[in-house]
Chain A
Amino acid sequence: MNLAKPGYLRVLLMTLCFGLGFSLFAYSAYATEADCSMGGLMRAIEQSESSGREGICVQANNGSTCCGLFQFCNAERARYGLTTGTDSQGRTIMTSSRADQEAAMLAYTNDHIAELRRRGAFNYVGQTIGGVLVTESGIIGAAHLGGVGGAMRFLNGQGNASDGNTTVGQYMAKFAGYQTPAGGDGTQCGNQSRTDSASPMCDPTIRARVAEQVQAGVQMMADFKVTNSTMPRPISEVANTPCMSNELQRISNQFAYAPSMYAANILGQLNGLAGPVSGLMNNMLGSLFQSFTNAANMNPLANQFTQFAQTQISSVFTSLGLGGAFSSALCGMMVDMVLKYVQCVAPIKLPSLGQLKGSLNDLLPKGCAGAALTSALYAASNSSAVKSLAQPIILPQGGIFTPKPPSLGVAPGMQ
């Protein structure tokens, strides 16, 4: 038997990640005039910066020269490997190709996203600040044109840098709603005044009704989880018999089937919901989140509603143990299973363990893997595995495994 059924996990993660817009960065094919993909955002920034003039250079007042499609100045050009030269009239021009400039822009934007994330900028998404509905792409656009600092001061209410004509807030609205690696559904972009107050779907009565239905769905899923799922016992309870094949079997089965079981049940339950949200959610979930537009077309008002729905769906997934990648319940199962393998099947050298832990941490934003796995290893008297690369993993029974290459075997009785 295949223990973890990676296929399930892949489908689930792809569903989550593509649906929530975390990783759609392959945008060249979609970069048309009116699209809201990442390519659309890049082109909008390009328009704002250089009007598409690849070679143009502008002397900045601080002595630096800013060049090209995205007006990279001296420091950025050096950092991202862009070059300048002179034309026949002796003027400074950007000599890097359009492709190189675009590649640099990708790297630059990714760096900005990381910085914005570290500064907590994306925590403001969904809020209305200064009359502007904050979106992921709006923040990215504002940060490109006004700096991460300028964007953060706007979000923190510390000032909306303005020359009386253009403000950071306007940039945030101008570049709102595009699909980005930081999130964003990409269904409605580039609005200049996409504010909460302008949305008819923000009518309190409608919101309350929809929220009520979604909450009913959340409750149903929570009930399902309680009645249909047996969570593994705490590690402290099973540590004494970590290698029992039936325990391994139970955990493996649960880990393998729980996500797909939950996901299938979500669909089934949400399909049964009545009212305006049912079709919307059914369509979104049924098409693996790939078409908010289609869902919105089912109800004209829903076109204004996707932001709210996304939040609600996130809470559905969170309540099911599927939000934020996996919940602590699934995380616990995963860690539990890793622990069993470390103890019972094949010792893992620390580099591999660290690599695995890092991978799990990538999947588990709440950091459960790092803390739980480490503490579980300590609890199982495998502290040496945590402390030293060279040390073998000492089993609770006192046996010693000779470290093997970084791979896992198959547990007894698990074939």
Chain B
Amino acid sequence: MKSISKKFGAAAIVGILAVPATLGMINLASADNARAVAPSQVSPGQNIINLTPSASNPEALRIARYLVKDELDNAASLNQQPEIAAQFIDTPALGRGGLLIAQLNSDYSCGRAMGCMTFIFQLADRKKNAWTQVFYNMGDEFRQVQSARDTVRIDMVRKGYVSQWVLTPQGFSLIAPAAATAKP
């Protein structure tokens, strides 16, 4: 009597496929090219937006869950449930609660080098409570910058590097890339 695997070779073949995955260890050389790793610093006129999930504004959180539902579903399909942080952002130009920022924290929505998926929505119609996405990016930290009344500026921090963004009719546009900004 021969075994099933011997007779059909199926298990043996599966074994062939599986074994290489267990072979060997990485033997990686030492490296150079260090990147900036120091904690970021806050300049005068910058307010760090608190994106700690537990510190979220409950109403902002409720709205955010609806607005980022697609990404939550995507994460759920991989059995992940991102922690959501959400805050309203008050600006002179858009008024109280004119912007909503939401950040999704999970393995699915965060990258080792780029931070976590972050969206900013603008309140397009207060009566209808209609929101429009004006920013998508991945970052660690976001700061509201107090500047001219008619300008809405957000600085994004990613691994210590700051990039500057300003709201235009087409959404947030980059005005100063990370490389051009003073490093902490």
Q: Do A and B bind each other?
A: yes
- Asked, given contacts A24-B20, A25-B21, A148-B78, whether A408 binds B114 with beta carbons under 8 Å apart, the answer is no
Whether the pair A25, B109 counts as a contact (CB closer than 8 A) is no
Q: How distant is the Cα of A141 from the Cα of B128 in the complex, in angstroms?
A: 42
0/1 interface trace, chain A 1-36, chain B, CB 8 Å (1 if under)? 001111101100110010000111111110101000
Q: Which residues of B contact A106 (CB under 8 A)?
A: 26
Q: How distant is the Cα of A120 from the Cα of B5 in the complex, in angstroms?
A: 31
Taking the closest CB of chain B, its distance from the CB of A364, in whole angstroms, is 10
Q: Which residues of B contact A29 (CB under 8 A)?
A: 24, 27
A72 (CB) vs chain B CBs: closest residue: B112
0/1 interface trace, chain B 38-63, chain A, CB 8 Å (1 if under)? 01100000000001100000000000
A76 at the interface (CB under 8 A from B): yes
Number of B interface residues in the complex (CB < 8 A): 74
Q: Which residues of B contact A39 (CB under 8 A)?
A: 26-28
Whether the pair B29, A33 counts as a contact (CB closer than 8 A) is yes
Q: Which residues of A contact B138 (CB under 8 A)?
A: 146-147, 150, 161, 168
B164 (CB) vs chain A CBs: closest residue: A164
Whether the pair A46, B28 counts as a contact (CB closer than 8 A) is yes
Whether the pair A143, B21 counts as a contact (CB closer than 8 A) is no
- Asked, given contacts A25-B20, A407-B2, A409-B1, whether A47 binds B7 with beta carbons under 8 Å apart, the answer is no
Whether the pair A52, B163 counts as a contact (CB closer than 8 A) is no
Q: How distant is the Cα of A360 from the Cα of B24 in the complex, in angstroms?
A: 27
Pick the interface stretch among B89-97, B144-152, B153-161. B153-161
Q: How distant is the Cα of A364 from the Cα of B12 in the complex, in angstroms?
A: 14
A49 at the interface (CB under 8 A from B): yes
B6 at the interface (CB under 8 A from A): yes
Report which of B7, B31, B178 forms a contact with A163, defined as CB distance below 8 A.
B178
Whether the pair A53, B13 counts as a contact (CB closer than 8 A) is no
- Asked, given contacts A46-B31, A163-B177, A407-B4, whether A359 binds B26 with beta carbons under 8 Å apart, the answer is no
B3 at the interface (CB under 8 A from A): yes
Residue among B32, B52, B136 having the largest count of chain A Cβ atoms under 10 Å: B136
Q: How distant is the Cα of A368 from the Cα of B28 in the complex, in angstroms?
A: 41
B142 (CB) vs chain A CBs: closest residue: A61
Q: How distant is the Cα of A10 from the Cα of B52 in the complex, in angstroms?
A: 53
B117 at the interface (CB under 8 A from A): yes
Q: How distant is the Cα of A341 from the Cα of B3 in the complex, in angstroms?
A: 12
Whether the pair A13, B111 counts as a contact (CB closer than 8 A) is no
A410 at the interface (CB under 8 A from B): yes
A49 (CB) vs chain B CBs: closest residue: B112
Q: How distant is the Cα of A105 from the Cα of B25 in the complex, in angstroms?
A: 10
Q: How distant is the Cα of A165 from the Cα of B126 in the complex, in angstroms?
A: 35
A240 at the interface (CB under 8 A from B): no
Whether the pair B21, A23 counts as a contact (CB closer than 8 A) is yes
Residue among B28, B52, B136, B159 having the largest count of chain A Cβ atoms under 10 Å: B28
Whether the pair B74, A348 counts as a contact (CB closer than 8 A) is no
B34 (CB) vs chain A CBs: closest residue: A51
Q: Which residues of B contact A337 (CB under 8 A)?
A: 8
- Asked, given contacts A59-B39, A146-B114, A165-B179, whether A43 binds B7 with beta carbons under 8 Å apart, the answer is no
Residues of B91-149 contacting chain A, CB below 8 A? 104-105, 107-117, 136-141
Q: Which residues of A contact B182 (CB under 8 A)?
A: none
- Asked, given contacts A6-B6, A9-B13, A164-B174, whether A153 binds B21 with beta carbons under 8 Å apart, the answer is no
Q: Which residues of A contact B105 (CB under 8 A)?
A: 62
- Asked, given contacts A150-B138, A165-B161, whether A31 binds B26 with beta carbons under 8 Å apart, the answer is yes
Q: How distant is the Cα of A164 from the Cα of B164 in the complex, in angstroms?
A: 9
Report which of A50, A58, A102, A163 forms a contact with B139, defined as CB distance below 8 A.
A163
Report which of B26, B71, B176 forms a contact with A28, defined as CB distance below 8 A.
B26
Can you list 18 A-B contacts (CB < 8 A)? A25-B24, A27-B26, A31-B27, A48-B113, A51-B35, A106-B26, A115-B108, A146-B113, A148-B78, A150-B114, A150-B117, A161-B138, A168-B114, A341-B7, A356-B10, A359-B5, A406-B4, A410-B1
Taking the closest CB of chain B, its distance from the CB of A332, in whole angstroms, is 14
B136 (CB) vs chain A CBs: closest residue: A159
Whether the pair B113, A408 counts as a contact (CB closer than 8 A) is no
Whether the pair A51, B32 counts as a contact (CB closer than 8 A) is yes
A194 at the interface (CB under 8 A from B): no
A223 at the interface (CB under 8 A from B): no
0/1 interface trace, chain A 344-372, chain B, CB 8 Å (1 if under)? 00101000100110011011000000000
Q: How distant is the Cα of A64 from the Cα of B145 in the complex, in angstroms?
A: 25
0/1 interface trace, chain B 164-182, chain A, CB 8 Å (1 if under)? 0000000000101111100
Q: How distant is the Cα of A1 from the Cα of B12 in the complex, in angstroms?
A: 19
- Asked, given contacts A13-B13, A61-B157, A408-B4, whether A164 binds B33 with beta carbons under 8 Å apart, the answer is no
Q: Which residues of B contact A33 (CB under 8 A)?
A: 29
Q: Which residues of B contact A59 (CB under 8 A)?
A: 39
Whether the pair B16, A14 counts as a contact (CB closer than 8 A) is yes
A66 (CB) vs chain B CBs: closest residue: B112
Q: Which residues of B contact A119 (CB under 8 A)?
A: 74, 77-78
Residue among A28, A76, A158, A166 having the largest count of chain B Cβ atoms under 10 Å: A166
Residue among B37, B40, B105 having the largest count of chain A Cβ atoms under 10 Å: B37
Residues of A64-82 contacting chain B, CB below 8 A? 66, 69-73, 75-76
B67 at the interface (CB under 8 A from A): no
